[in-house]
């Protein structure tokens, strides 16, 4: 009934029928006053009747959310992403790898198989990033510069001597600290990546008033 009004079930954290909390399988038999509360905001009571997981740090994002994916990886979060992925692949990765589904397709969030998911309201990737951090309570888990932006694998510190032949001449001169992707072997250093990252982090922290 709720979904027929256009609200996907992963966006509903608390349902009150005539003031009493109920689960998704509750059948409405007669006229009733139904209140819905989204995760995060809302009702001060019924904490034990919440229907959504409050925090999760593993995601799968739909093919339209490439920039959001990059932002979240930059902050250290594990985001599976394939720009060509079909709906059923997204749902399979979500289920088998226990990830929350991030999608701008509300219909997709309505599949019964979806336990945890989120529909970013904004079309802007930086705003979407803030929304996801807020929805899944991730501010304290941000670990910049720990995950590969290209393939999502963790980064590992690497000695300059071990990679020196792969560096451009100016990078060789100006940088000392390097990390290498444990998946695709891409090398990262505190150059332009880092400056952009600091700027974004600053913007995010301003949004959270910290
Ligand atoms: Zn990589």
Strand-pair partners of 37:
14
Give distance in angstroms: CA of 155 to centre of ligand 1: 8
The residues of the chain scoring below 50 in pLDDT are none
Give distance in angstroms: CA of 172 to centre of ligand 1: 21
105 plus 79 within the same structural domain? yes
Give distance in angstroms: CA of 82 to centre of ligand 1: 14
Domain annotation covers residue 22:
yes
Give distance in angstroms: CA of 60 to centre of ligand 1: 17
Number of domains in the chain: 3
Domain annotation covers residue 210:
no
Give distance in angstroms: CA of 86 to centre of ligand 1: 22
Domain annotation covers residue 183:
yes
> What is the spatial distance between Cα 104 and Cα 64, in angstroms, rounded to a whole number?
8
Give distance in angstroms: CA of 184 to centre of ligand 1: 4
Domain annotation covers residue 203:
no
Express each pLDDT in 62-75 by its tens digit. Answer: 999 999 999 999 99
The predicted pLDDT at position 44 comes to 80
112 plus 166 within the same structural domain? no
> What is the spatial distance between Cα 64 and Cα 109, in angstroms, rounded to a whole number?
15
Among 141, 170, 199, residue at a domain's last position: 141
The predicted pLDDT at position 199 comes to 81
The predicted pLDDT at position 69 comes to 97
Determine the structural domain holding residue 106 and report its residue range.
58-141
68 plus 125 within the same structural domain? yes
134 plus 159 within the same structural domain? no
């Amino acid at each position: 009934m709720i979904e027929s009004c256009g609200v996907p079930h992963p966006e509903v954290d608390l349902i009150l029928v005539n003031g009493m909390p109920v689960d998704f399988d509750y059948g409405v038999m007669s006229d009733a006053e139904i209140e819905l509360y989204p995760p995060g905001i809302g009702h001060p009571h019924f904490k034990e009747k919440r229907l959504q997981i409050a925090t999760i740090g593993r995601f799968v994002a739909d093919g339209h959310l490439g920039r959001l994916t990059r932002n979240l990886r930059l902050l250290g979060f594990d985001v599976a992403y394939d720009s060509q992925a079909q709906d059923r692949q997204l749902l399979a990765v979500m289920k088998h790898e226990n990830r929350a589904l991030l999608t701008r397709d509300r219909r997709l969030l309505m599949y019964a198989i979806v336990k945890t998911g989120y529909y970013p309201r904004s079309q802007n990737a930086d705003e979407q990033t803030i929304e996801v951090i807020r929805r899944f309570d991730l501010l304290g888990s941000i670990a910049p510069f720990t995950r590969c932006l290209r393939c999502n694998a963790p980064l590992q510190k690497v000695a300059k001597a071990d990679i020196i032949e792969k560096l451009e001449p100016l990078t060789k001169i100006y940088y000392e600290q390097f990390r290498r992707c444990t998946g695709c072997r891409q090398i990262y250093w505190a150059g332009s990546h880092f400056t952009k990252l600091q700027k974004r982090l600053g913007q995010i922290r301003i949004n959270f008033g910290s």
